[in-house]
Structure formats: C-alpha cells, structure tokens
Amino acid sequence: MMTWEGMATMGVFSITTSGLMAAFALALGANTFQIGILAAIPSMTQPLQIPAILLVEKLRRRKLIALVAKLVTQALWFPIALIPIFIGVPSGAAVSVLLGLMFTRSTFAAVMSCSLNPWTRDLVPQQALGRYFSRRMMFINVVTVTFGLGAAFFIDYWRGLSSPEDMIHGYTLAFLFAATLFGLSSVVFMSLIPEPLMQPPTGPKPTLWNALSIPLKNTNFRHLMKFLLFWSFATSLAGPFFAVYMLKRLEIPLASVMLFTVLSQVFHIIFLRVWGPLVDRFGTKSVLSLCASLYLLVILGWTFTTMPERYAGTIPLLIILHIFGGIAVAGLNLTVGTISLKLAPGEQTTSYLTASSLASSLGAAAGPLLGGLFADFFSVRQLALDFTWADPSQTMQLGVVSLTGFDFLFILAFILGLITLSFLRDLREGGEVDRNVVLQVIMDHSGTLSQTVSSVPGLNLVTKLSLGSLRRIPGIDVAIGVTAYQLADAVKAATLVGARSRRVTAGVARSLEKRMARLLNGREVSAHGIEIARQAARGVISAVSEEALDEKRVVPSAAAGIAEALDEAKVDADDSLYGIGFGLMQGSHETGTSVTDTARNVIEAAKAVARRLDVSEEEALVEAIRGALDAVRAVDPEAEAKVRDALMEKRPPDGRVARG
C-alpha cells in the first residue's frame, strides 16, 4: 500500500510540478524571482512541523493526522488548476493566487510529513531500508516518466489547436486530470496502510523546546543536520532553474524539456537497483558521498551548454547531463531520505526526523530565493575570456569562457557543494565503509576503461583518458565506475538466460557470446581486453551466487563464451585469460562464495577457453592462474595460501605455474 500510495502521489507530482509547473507559472506571468519563490514554498513551510510535533505527541494518531492533511493537499490542486478560468492571464493577480494556494497546500504537506515520516520509520525494517525504498522509487519513477511526458505532449498538442488566449487551459485540463485520478486515489491508498503503535516515551514527557533541542545535543546527528542544511542550499541554488533555463535561455519546447526529464528518470530507475543493494551492504553515507560528487559534476556541466549561446554541442551535452543527473539523483533521493531514518533513535523518532527535515527545508527554501535573485542580477552581466590573434591582414578571436545569467549560478552551486561534501567526514554511521571501498567495488580496480563497451550512452567524452587523473575530479570517478558496473550486470543477465536453457553448458556460452558481441559491436578493443574480461567474469560469479547455479557447470562455459567474443574483437588470448581468472576470484570475494572452489573452477575455465580458442592448455592455465593469484593478493591476501593450494592441485607438469 505504501508503494501504491507513492505511485499515486508521484502521478500528481509528474503533472503538476517540475517543468510543467514552471511553464504554467511563466504562462500566468511569473518572473524568475517568483519562480524561485514557487520552488522555495514547500521548504519555507517546513518549520510548521514544529507545532505539528505537539499535535502528533498529543493525539498519537499519526495515520489520522496524515490522512486529513493529505486530503487537503490533494484537493487544493482543483482551485490551482482553475486559476486561468476565473482570473485574467497573464497578470500579477494570477501569480499571487498561485503562490497563495501553493503556500496553503505546502502548510498541510508539512503537517503530513511530521506524522508520516516516523510512521514510515516504524513500518519498514531498518535492515531493508535500501532495498525497499529503491524498489518503491523504481515503480514511482515509471509512473512519473509515463504521465509527465504524456502531459507535456498533451499541452503542446493543445497549443497547436487552440487560440493564444486559450493555450493556458491545456494546463488546467492536465492538472484536473492529475488531481482527480491520482490525487484522490493516493488518499485511499494511504488509508489502507497499517499503522504500528507509537513507542511510548521513556522518562518525563519533554517540552516542545526540549523535543527540538534533543537532536542538537547529539553530536553525530548535529553533523548530519549541518550537511543537510548546506547541501540543500547548494543544490537548490541551481536545481529549480534547470527547466526555466531550457525553456527561456535555450528556447527548447516544453515537450522536449520533458523528454530530457524522461531520459533522466529512465536512468534514475535503472540505477535504483544499483544503489539500493550498495546502501544495505556498505552503508548510506558512502553511497551518499559518491552520488553527491557526481551530481556536483552535473551542475557544473550546465555552464557549458552555451558558449555564450546555444551551439552544436548543446543538445548532446544536455543528454549526457540528464543521464548522469538521473544516476546521481537516484542515489541521492535514496540516501538523503534514509540516512535520517537510520540515525534517529526509535523512542525519539519524531523529534529527530523533524529536526533533520527542518535543516533540509531551511537550505532548500533559501536556495531558490537567492537563486532567483542571483539569476536576475547576473542576467545583465557577463564575464568573458577570449584569445585574440591580430596581424596586418586579419584578426581572429577565440572565445574560451563566457559566463552570464544562470552560468554564474551553476558555478556558485558547484563551489558551495564541494565545500559541503567535506562535512560528511565528521558523520558516523554504524557499519559504514570508506567511499573509496564502495567505488572500488563498482570500478573493480579499473586502470583504464574502454568506453566502447559502455551500455550508458554518451560516455565517449572520457574514452582513452587515464583513470588516475580523472579520479581527482569530483564525480568523474563515479561516472566511469557505473559503466563498469553496467558491463558486469549485462553479463550477469546473459548468464542467467543461458543457465535456464536445457543444455546449460552450450546455453551459457552461446548467450554470453551473443551479449558480449552486441556490447562490443564489432569494434577493436584489444587495448582494454583485460578490463573487459575482468568485468564480464565478475558478472558471471554474481549470477552464480544470486541464483544458486551450479558453478562447476556454468563457469567454464561462461569463460569460453567471454573468450570467444573477445577473440572476435581482436583481444589477445593471454589478456582474456588473465582477466577472466582475476574477475572470477574478485567476484568470489565480493559475493562471499568459496574462494577455493572458485580457484578450482578457474582451472576448468582455462581448459575450456583453451579448447574454444585452440591455444595451448598449458599457456591458458598459466595466464588464468596468474590473474587469479593477483586478484587474491589485491582483495584478500590472507586467503592466498588456500587459493594457491587449490590452484596447484592441477598445475602443469613442468611446474611453470609454481614459478609464476
């Protein structure tokens, strides 16, 4: 029921907010500063959670309070939709009514959040927060993509049929549809969610001030609140104006703006299943750090969409930014929404979650307000850096940097975000690991990574660049890492398909060979053969572990399929064997399977590859075992002796592997 309620709520959101709400406000006559106010209103009203705490603690009926507030918030979409019917537009009066109704709606939304957040915290098991919310958000985003894009195309279609004075009525029809179909059904779904009993407070009942001050006395939670405050401020300086920037500065049609949003949402959905398990495995803080750095890189990238006006690279760059924006926001929404739930003590959940929500809201309210002011201030100012060459016959000028309007806003948000990331160092989370450990799992010790095998479009900007230098730039490391993860995931899927066939051995090899061939697409990737083989082998072990497949049967045939595909791509057989051996052992360590059993299967995999590629079995064993031993030394040195013993059970007769 929580999932259905979330889908219905986001069905309304997809039509009535984001780019569509910005376009609606512009049609009513709003300026940039008023757009900033509109974006800030939901956060400006969050302090109303303070008196709502008293209401929740007094009645102790979180479901009843949330239901009443939810009904009001959804019902208010009806008068908002009807503004163009009763008030002349464009006009200041229409904009004022819109702001007033949105403020009222957000007031009740704040009361709802105060009761809904601790209710959710008591309902969802802590150990499953990442998996549950990633799954829920995946379904939610499918609804958001479908109906948000449909509403945008409907409004553009309506514009083509109607007169100029009637064009705005397309928004009215879309908003009424959202409020009727999704808004009211979300209330019904919420009414069907069970409510656990509130935990009784221990000790004397705290006053309102004491309830609010308790989180401030907790040093660790205070660090979290500081991060949430400044992170919300930094990202809200720029985020609310992306749609306005595309509509006004780049003059992109509304339907195209929503297509970009859909592209971002698609990758948002794809990577929820990546970040969710990583959150449960490595902790929320580590994943939050990775996604935050990637999102800052995206914000900075918006600066280069004009030079100084729209140019040939604008649309390709927007595609890349929306892809990585979706990847980053998937992790951010998941981690920012769950880290407070994990760190809040059970008996004081309401106070702690309200405090963290207030910290986020304060930053999110100040960001759009100042962002709107800054955008207006910088709209008539420009900073340009040019190279000029002059001789008696001609003068040549090359523009290097040209900043104006929103460009300054994006750079400022990027700088503030970098500063804010340092606040995460002081935060402590039970069971956390360093962000570099998580990144290393995604990257799998990649030195250089071929972008030609990427299943994420648009990454060729970093093809053939050294990973060592790129990783120094915040966000680039994650951008490259997700590509490696996608390759392993694609191989995992192919392994599962092949394992379900009647002839497992032939099925796995054939399935993997076909999938790898599609990824490589006939390109020569010999310089990156080890990395590709390594990622593919990791995917095989992941499939074996998750689906409890017969490792002895699946691994050799999978290795043969990988090697065959790489051979067609002109990858040296020694590189393929080394990468396969390394990847199999690395995958065994990551999934917790028996490293000694996997070591024995490395031997069988090498023999299978030797038969498939018609190479010396002895040479195949040497390279595969060398890769396996290097992997063990890198990830689990203590297991090297056991792995070496298992590998040496079938060593070549002349002992060359022992010397290796």
**Torsion angle, CA of 409/411/413/415, rounded to 10 degrees?**
-150
Hey, what amino acid is at 409? L
379: phi then psi, degrees, rounded to nearest 5: -65, -25
Rounded to an integer, the average pLDDT of 201-227 is 72
Most confident of 9-18, 23-32, 148-157, 305-314: 23-32
In whole angstroms, give the CA distance from residue 256 to residue 541: 41
Q: Is 548 left (phi over 0), alpha (psi -120 to 50) or beta?
A: left
Question: Where are any strands of DSSP class E within 270-351?
Answer: none
User: How many Cβ atoms sit within 10 Å of the Cβ of residue 389?
Assistant: 9
pLDDT surpasses 50 at 481: no
Q: Which residue has better confidence, 598 or 78?
A: 78
Positive or negative CA dihedral for 338, 341, 344, 345? negative
pLDDT surpasses 50 at 151: yes
Is 194 exposed, middle or buried, given 0-12, 13-18 or 19+ CB atoms closer than 10 A?
Answer: exposed
Write out the DSSP string of 79-102: HHHTHHHHS-SS-HHHHHHHHHHH
pLDDT surpasses 90 at 642: no
CATH number belonging to domain 2-193+213-388+395-426:
1.20.1250.20
What pLDDT, in 10s, does the model give residues 120-147? 777 777 666 667 777 787 788 788 778 8
Both tokens assigned to 11: 């069905």
> Would you state the pLDDT for residue 177?
92
Write out the DSSP string of 121-170: HHHS-GGGHHHHHHHHHHHHHHHHHHHHHHHHHHHHHHHHHS-GGGTTHH
Both tokens assigned to 316: 């390709």
> Would you state the pLDDT for residue 204?
59
Q: What H or E segment, with its residue span, contains residue 384?
A: strand 382-390
Angle, helices 129-161/314-343, rounded to nearest 10 degrees: 140
In whole angstroms, give the CA distance from residue 51 to residue 58: 11
> Would you state the pLDDT for residue 453?
31
pLDDT surpasses 50 at 197: yes
Q: Check: CB of residue 18 under 8 Å from CB of residue 35.
A: no
Is this prediction's pTM over 0.75?
Answer: no
> Would you state the pLDDT for residue 522?
55
What pLDDT, in 10s, does the model give residues 623-639? 999 998 888 887 777 78
In whole angstroms, give the CA distance from residue 24 to residue 41: 16
Range of lowest pLDDT (145-154, 243-252, 325-334, 463-472): 463-472
Most confident of 351-355, 370-374, 468-472, 493-497: 370-374
pLDDT surpasses 90 at 82: yes
**Banded model confidence at residue 257, pLDDT cuts 50, 70, 90:** confident
Helix, strand or coil for residue 17?
Answer: coil
Rounded to an integer, the average pLDDT of 320-325 is 91
In whole angstroms, give the CA distance from residue 255 to residue 418: 33
Rounded to an integer, the average pLDDT of 160-167 is 81
pLDDT surpasses 80 at 454: no
Percent of the chain with pLDDT over 90: 9
**Banded model confidence at residue 497, pLDDT cuts 50, 70, 90:** low
Range of lowest pLDDT (144-148, 200-204, 294-298, 562-566): 200-204
What pLDDT, in 10s, does the model give residues 275-289? 877 776 667 787 888
Looking up tokens 């512009």 gives 26
Percent of the chain with pLDDT over 70: 76
Q: Which residue has better confidence, 277 or 642?
A: 642
Rounded to an integer, the average pLDDT of 444-472 is 36
Rounded to an integer, the average pLDDT of 98-112 is 90
> Would you state the pLDDT for residue 651?
53
Q: Check: CB of residue 17 under 8 Å from CB of residue 205.
A: no
> Would you state the pLDDT for residue 71?
92
Collect all residues with Cβ–Cβ distance below 8 Å to 123 and sequence separation of at least 6: 2, 193, 194, 195, 196
> Would you state the pLDDT for residue 659?
43
In whole angstroms, give the CA distance from residue 379 to residue 366: 20
Angle, helices 18-28/254-282, rounded to nearest 10 degrees: 140
In whole angstroms, give the CA distance from residue 395 to residue 192: 73
> Would you state the pLDDT for residue 658?
44
Q: Where in the chain is the domain with CATH 1.20.1250.20?
A: 2-193+213-388+395-426
Closest CA to 112 of 100, 120, 102: 120
pLDDT surpasses 60 at 312: yes
> Would you state the pLDDT for residue 94?
92
Collect all residues with Cβ–Cβ distance below 8 Å to 165 and sequence separation of at least 6: none
**Banded model confidence at residue 450, pLDDT cuts 50, 70, 90:** very low
Q: Check: CB of residue 619 under 8 Å from CB of residue 571.
A: no
Q: Tell me what the pLDDT averaged over the chain comes to.
A: 77
> Would you state the pLDDT for residue 205?
59
Q: Check: CB of residue 129 under 8 Å from CB of residue 341.
A: yes
Q: Which residues pair with 397 in a beta bridge?
A: 388
In whole angstroms, give the CA distance from residue 76 to residue 84: 15
What pLDDT, in 10s, does the model give residues 460-470? 333 333 334 44
Q: Which residue has better confidence, 108 or 114?
A: 108
**Banded model confidence at residue 270, pLDDT cuts 50, 70, 90:** confident
pLDDT surpasses 90 at 52: no
Percent composition of the chain: helix, strand, coil (DSSP 3-state, to 5)? 80, 5, 20
Rounded to an integer, the average pLDDT of 292-307 is 88
Q: CA 68 → CA 59, 81, 178, 269, 357, distances in Å?
A: 13, 21, 19, 31, 20
Residues in the chain: 660
Q: Check: CB of residue 500 under 8 Å from CB of residue 507.
A: yes
Looking up tokens 């009535």 gives 16
Both tokens assigned to 376: 């207006």
**Banded model confidence at residue 155, pLDDT cuts 50, 70, 90:** confident
> Would you state the pLDDT for residue 465?
33
Rounded to an integer, the average pLDDT of 583-599 is 83
Looking up tokens 């008293």 gives 54
What pLDDT, in 10s, does the model give residues 286-299? 788 888 888 998 99
Helix, strand or coil for residue 421?
Answer: helix
